[in-house]
Structure 1
């Protein structure tokens, strides 16, 4: 099972997901694959939403569709996205409430076998 670790950036600078956090992983390809997936969903989903992102059926359906396309077009990348563990133990509590993190967490939660380690 592949593991991502979410950490705060230094001095609050923006990380690859447009928030004050970044990702680390032992597998050097994993951050690139996950970032490509997350940003594809972010760039393609409508910003019009009456609910919180975590509750958005629009976001969920689009994220699943994007994953299925990746799995079909790039099976190796699709395998990296399945059964991920996302370790939040080094992420400060206030950062977990950041709007960009909430959006990205909601996207990651749509992946099959996703586990968040609090």
Structure 2
């Protein structure tokens, strides 16, 4: 898998490793970037979330999740353009999502699980 950041301990690499061993994860994909990849058009430019994840819930119900991994959850440390794109993506997903599909920005798998508990 190709993740952003070449370091073996990058945020995305650690996130993928945690997804690999999580019992509650059915399948996940690192979403491709670029003109042929997955992107959401926003007023401030195209935005590509990082991950699509399918979780088990109960025996047969699945929850689908689109996640953006960032090294920090502090919006003051993100570039203004990143903040704007994430804000647009949140608004879009909140409008088009069903109760089973969610979008959120996270900095680790444990923070993703915390978000999942509130769904």
Name the TM-score, length of structure 1 as normaliser.
0.33
Name the TM-score, length of structure 2 as normaliser.
0.33
Higher RCO (C-alpha under 8 Å, 6+ residues apart): 1
Higher strand fraction: Structure 1 or Structure 2?
Answer: 2
